[in-house]
Amino acid sequence: MSQPTRIPTYFFLGIGGIGMSALARYLLAQDIQVLGYDRTKTELTTTLETEGAKIFYDEVVAIHALSDFSNEGIHVIYTPAISNQSKLFTYLTSNDFTLQKRAALLGEITRSGKCLAVAGTHGKTTTTAILTHILKEAKVGFTAFLGGILNDINSNFYSTGNEYFVVEADEFDRSFLQLHPHAAVITSMDADHLDMYGTKENFEQTFYDFANQVSDELWVEESLSISGKKLGFGKDSTASIQKLEVIDGSYVFDLVLEDRVYSNIQFSLPGRHNVFNALAALSLAISNFPEKAGEFVAALKSFSGVKRRFNYLLKTPNRIIIDDYAHHPTEINAAFQGAKEMHPNENLMVIFQPHLFSRTENFAEDFALSLAQFDEICLLEIYPARELPIEGVDASFLLQKIKEKNKKIISKESITASIAATSCRVVLMLGAGDIGDEAQKVKNYFISNAEVV
C-alpha cells in the first residue's frame, strides 16, 4: 500500500513583507501549515495569525521551533531583503535547510494557470490592484497576489479560482524572471536598484529578458523601446486615453482600444499616472476577456484605491493630508502632479523619508529637482532597510542639493508639530520606509483634536 504524500510545512523568513504575506495567505487557503518569523509585530502579521499562521518575533524562539523539524520536513521561503548575517538565516544555512526565494515559489504557483503580470519601476502595485478590482467585479475566477493592501477587501490576496493568476512582477533582485506570463504589462523602466544591478543598462536588459518570457501578449508604455502593444495618451498607441477631463474631483475620459471606443469612463484616483495605470489594467483585462469589456469599464468607477497609494488621510476645510509610497524621483513627480491637479490653488508641503542610502546617492540630483517643486520641504533621515550606511550620505546630503527653498530636516517626533505650523493647506507624506506608520499617527492626532476626515 502506497504512503500518502506528505504536505510540507512552510516557514517564511520575513513573513510580514507584502509579497511574502500574500504567498502565506495562498498556502493557508490550501490548508497548508504556515510558520514564519518577522522582527516586528504589525497589523499585517496580526491578521496572518488570525488566519492560521504561527509567527515568531524572536530569532532564538524561532530557531527552537525549527529544531523540531528535519531539514526535509519544512520548506523555507525567504526574501532577499533578509540580512544573511541574521542568527536565523545562519542557523538555516548551516543546518542544510533548503531555502527558496519568494519569487521562485510565486513562479511555481502561477505556472499551474495563465499568469497576467504587471511589471514596471512605477505603477505596478496600483495597476495590479485595479486589474484585480475590475476582474473581481466582473466575477472572473482568478487568484491575485498584490504588492499592496487593496482597500475594498483589506488584503493583498484574493482568490476565486486558479485558472488565471494576477501578479505584481517585481524587478527587485530580478525576481520577475521567475515568471512566465501568458500576458503582461510593462508600465515603466526608470532605473532603480542600482546597488544590485550596477548600471542602468543592466537594469533595462532585465526588462527585455522579462518581455521575452511573455508567451502571448505584451502591453508596454508608449515611450518604451520594448516591442509590444503600446499604451498611453498618444493617438497612435494601440490603447489610448482621449478626452481626459477632471469633473467634480474625478477623471472622465474615453478609452480607444484598437477599433473600439469606450466613452465617459469615470475614475477617481488622482494623478495622470493613475489614469495610465487604469488604461493598462483595462487593456490587459479586455484583451483577455473581451466579452466582459463593459463590466470592466463600469467597475473602474468603484475602485477605492490601495493603502499608501495617494490615500487621503485627512480632508478638512483647513487641512488635507495625503499618504503615498513614492520613494523614487519619478514617483515624487507623479504625486506632486496629482496633488496639484486636484488642488490647483493650494501651496503644497512635502514630508519625505528617503529610502536606502544607495538610492539616495545614485539619484540625489533627481530627488532634489522633484522635491523642489513643493513650497515647503521637510526631510526625515534615510530609512536604511537592508543597507548599511554610506559615508556622507544622509538627509543633510540630500537637503544641500535642493536649491533656494523653504527646507529643513525634522525628526519623526516633530512631524505633527511641523504640519500644525505650516501655512500649506495640503501636506504629502512620502516614502517607502516606516513613514506610513507615522502618517497614521498624524491622522489619529488631528482627528482626536476635532479635525474630521
CA distance 431 to 154: 21
Alpha helices for 349-410 (secondary structure H): 357-362, 364-371, 395-399
Stated length of the chain: 453
pLDDT at 356: 92
Residues of the chain with CATH 3.40.50.720: 9-101
Angle at 182 between CA 177 and CA 188, to 5 degrees: 55
The values of phi and psi at residue 150, to 5°, are -70, 125
Q: How many CA atoms lie within 13 A of 420 on its CB side?
A: 12
pLDDT at 4: 38
Report DSSP letters for 158-194, one per residue: EES-SSEEEEEE--GGGGGGG---SEEEE-------H
The values of phi and psi at residue 128, to 5°, are -60, -40
Q: Give the global pTM.
A: 0.84
Residues of the chain with CATH 3.90.190.20: 311-448
CA distance 410 to 442: 14
Pairing state between β 143-150 and 155-159: antiparallel
Residues of the chain with CATH 3.40.1190.10: 111-302
Residues of the chain with pLDDT under 70: 1-7, 70-71, 450-453
Angle at 280 between CA 152 and CA 157, to 5 degrees: 35
Of the candidates 429, 432, 433, which has an alpha carbon nearest to the alpha carbon of residue 377? 429
Burial annotation 229-245 (CB, 10 A radius, 16+ → b, else e): bbbbeeeebbbbbeeee
- Joined grid coordinates for residue 133: 478590482
pLDDT at 71: 67
Instruction: Name, in order, each residue with C-beta under 8 angstroms of 404's C-beta and a sequence gap of 6 or more.
Output: none
CA distance 78 to 125: 21
Sign of CA dihedral 81, 42, 356, 177: positive
Cβ neighbours around 264 below 10 Å, total? 12
Element (DSSP H or E) covering residue 276? helix 272-288
CA distance 76 to 41: 20
Architecture of the 111-302 domain: 3-Layer(aba) Sandwich (3.40)
Of the candidates 30, 36, 34, 31, which has an alpha carbon nearest to the alpha carbon of residue 17? 36
Cβ neighbours around 133 below 10 Å, total? 26
Sign of CA dihedral 258, 264, 268, 271: positive
pLDDT at 1: 33
pLDDT at 308: 84
Which CATH code for domain 311-448? 3.90.190.20
CA distance 250 to 263: 15
pLDDT at 125: 92
The values of phi and psi at residue 186, to 5°, are -120, 110
Architecture of the 9-101 domain: 3-Layer(aba) Sandwich (3.40)
pLDDT at 286: 98
